[in-house]
A and B are shown apart, each in its own frame.
Chain A
């Protein structure tokens, strides 16, 4: 049972949280102007990286606030959590992986 650190409530068991998929996928400004393919990319397509991934989480059994997290998909480790109004992480942070994933 992993702990996830809610930016407000602090560390809680993972079952108190729900997953919200990839972070920083904003609703398009003018959907009507998008091609079907562009719209389909917004609706259906998400990254699936090995390593660090910026994700959305919701403390659904607690304060019900959404927040973002950088999690390593190979180790499940939460590298950090940040609030929705915090800046988007730099590509360099997502590219580097602190822990070797070799067995």
Chain B
């Protein structure tokens, strides 16, 4: 296969290798080094798709990320929507088709890897064009830690697209030497195919590296496809170049109309002629290079149409080559359907357009000047200023740690860009106290030809009769001059409002070609200076970034850490069904063959209430509190008195915030006069340690006490049930486990084969129970000893669900489930746990607020469904019938809600805990809970439903 528009030689493609791609079902040849766009053009194809709203044919209008025309969907080897043909590198087997503005998400999971890497540098240079390379070389030579990132497949920037010479040789030779020199510096990270897409605080830049996209099916599976570089730079040099700006005229969107500089890129970099007969429409000198280069490559340049009345000093060069130059003329419109066939050219003077005539062409090149790519500067909150000569926005202030250079700063001659790149990085190095290298030469560039002043022309007046409705400003949004006129006509003055009214700049390309045009045209329509219109806000990302790349490796099993206890493998082997408790994985229940959760939980509950059960309670938060003032600290933080606790004893306590609402509860062991072990809820472990540290560090630094997390220092196994004494006694024969010698709420130290173990008489079920504490290194061994000893009694491991049923039957609240930050100890019926003796503790003053004594506060009570069958869904609302037995009309007053609800083996019926307004006064009443559209009558009871006398705790 041959490509009819491929030049016989030249370009940076690998002509020795041919790859095959499929576009819209058509097989086309190309070469490594091509983009999808250059391959399409090489095969004479300009149209890529149709437009999103109007369905107009659209083609390749630029050569890189600023292209508003060439949206494609990749189908193979890897489905991906919304890419630009101009930025897709070619590889064998690529299958793609054009997109009318909207893509389609892949229907198969993305199996590629993505990752992120943190990197720290002294100097980050963004852009490997002449200015960026000069800057990077100077920084590297000074020994600085440098990162150079560039979005193209190879370094060189504008040098890849032209015929520049440096050191009296093609500029590519200097680029190659610069790249080689950078590679030899160990502290230089040079990344191509890497787009710096966001500039944030304190020198933080995010860059997306496309690592294996260009390898197609050859991409290694174990290497990330794309990588987000999280670069922290002490100094940033932005050398991101400039985007050519079109001029708007009627029917300016046809395939075959492209930016003049893009045509040069396709010619010089990719060896492609974008047409056979060209018209060049310009307002400045830069397009003359395109006209002359295409002419020399064999393109028939029909005319250069220069809007400036005085034309250009380069007119002679063109006419010498036989190219007609029409000064003081503009393109007013075009003809053609799927490809431009004629440019309509008319004289232009003092803003007035004369009669037009058609010039035949299959390529219409346009240049309205250049917009410096100031995105990163602007994202870093840099102010922009409008330059009336260039008709462009330039950096308008100096920023600390971020400098803009080269054509991004409005410099457009090669020698000047090289020198400026070196200048700004030297200033940056000086600020960082890094001395520059002695040897730091710049390549010799030819003396710049001073160009004639450009004409700032946003749009050609529409003489077609369409009143601007075919004069496209944003091709991706099908938004026109007429749309801007409508916005202004509707009274909009702010460019941000115009943007939202017209949607200009909101598409895939984020207004790279349309943004400044909109500023200019809006200013014109409002009759105000462009400086006053300004630009819309530049926001990251500079180019689209896939969510998969942002997610990186935080997906699948690395999405959220799973915290596990020392017994986790045992639980897995025992067939546990797990529950997430914060980040912890806790066994919820251990089903036996054929059991569902309800059956398993009824069995586990029965074992704990009639025999013996055992649970892994290791996730309970534990804090070691040490020091002479340890008791003082606890007295200030708990609502009850802890200083009176005797060594060897345990006390339950409640903590409140300063607002008097419960934040956590748990037991406290007094280990020594100056040492306590504080237990918190599983979820409260980190919070309560932080709470203690906060008070100690910020309020009471005089207290001689230290708090240390020991949550994972102690594996904790409650052994629960009437036979627990037999089990613990068997494993620890040296410990007298009788009720007299080892009373409720005390602890004892023991050893097991020389390993220290702590035992405690604590019950979260109301049953006789022992808690066994041991270093988790020995957790599996001790757990197995307990199971072994319990086998004669049918010891039953149980999970969190059974634990919840057992505690709820006793009315023990779970902080965070039965409370929600608005519940006081009194609301929970725990006035007994609030000291009246202590002069103060955190929360005490709030208890004296009148609101706290309101008898209508929500209080924790029990609920018993009258039908003895319905398990009330947790979170259900509670309502009350009127005296006449009818439900009040909406809005029905809410009495409260169900906080915990289970089926009880012991009670042989479902039950619930609930927060009910004035609940304790309502004990004995019947209220109603809507469940699946019916109102279930429930009896309000006290919260303790089993063994209210506490007769069972000693066995």
Contacts and interface: CB of A to CB of B under 8 A. Distances in A.
A73 B38 CA distance: 50
Interface string B840-866: 100011101110000000000000000
B845 A60 contact: no
B845 A1 contact: no
A3 interface: yes
B840 A31 contact: yes
B12 to A, nearest CB: 37
A50 interface: no
Nearest to B201: A2
Interface in A32-78: 32, 34, 36, 39-40, 42-44, 56, 58, 60, 64-66, 76
Contact of A66 (B230, B232, B694): B694
Given A1-B201, A3-B201, A60 B690 contact: yes
Interface of B: 200-202, 204, 230, 232, 658-659, 690, 693-694, 697-699, 701, 839-840, 844-846, 848-850
Contact of A58 (B200, B659, B690): B690
Contact of B698 (A2, A31, A56): A56
B697 A32 contact: no
A95 interface: no
Interface of A: 1-3, 11, 18, 20, 26-27, 30-32, 34, 36, 39-40, 42-44, 56, 58, 60, 64-66, 76, 84-85
Nearest to B660: A43
Contacts of A84: 697-698, 701
- Top 7 closest pairs, chain A to chain B, by CB: A31-B845, A2-B201, A3-B202, A66-B697, A1-B204, A27-B699, A43-B658
15 contacts: A1-B204, A2-B200, A27-B699, A31-B844, A31-B845, A32-B840, A32-B844, A36-B848, A39-B845, A43-B658, A43-B659, A43-B846, A66-B693, A66-B694, A66-B697
A15 B699 CA distance: 25
Given A31-B844, A84-B697, A39 B201 contact: no
A56 B690 CA distance: 14
Given A27-B658, A36-B850, A66-B697, 11 more contacts: A1-B200, A3-B201, A11-B202, A18-B690, A20-B694, A30-B840, A31-B840, A36-B848, A39-B846, A43-B846, A66-B698
A61 B290 CA distance: 57
Nearest to A30: B840
Contacts of A85: 701
A36 B853 CA distance: 13
A65 B845 contact: no
A73 B693 CA distance: 27
A60 B200 CA distance: 23
A81 B693 CA distance: 19
A39 B840 contact: no
B697 A65 contact: yes
Contacts of B849: 36, 39-40
B204 to A, nearest CB: 5
A64 B698 CA distance: 12
Given A26-B699, A39-B849, A43-B846, A2 B202 contact: yes
A76 B232 CA distance: 18
Contacts of B204: 1-3
A32 to B, nearest CB: 6
A45 B849 CA distance: 16
B693 A64 contact: yes
Nearest to A44: B659
A31 B659 CA distance: 12
Contacts of A18: 690
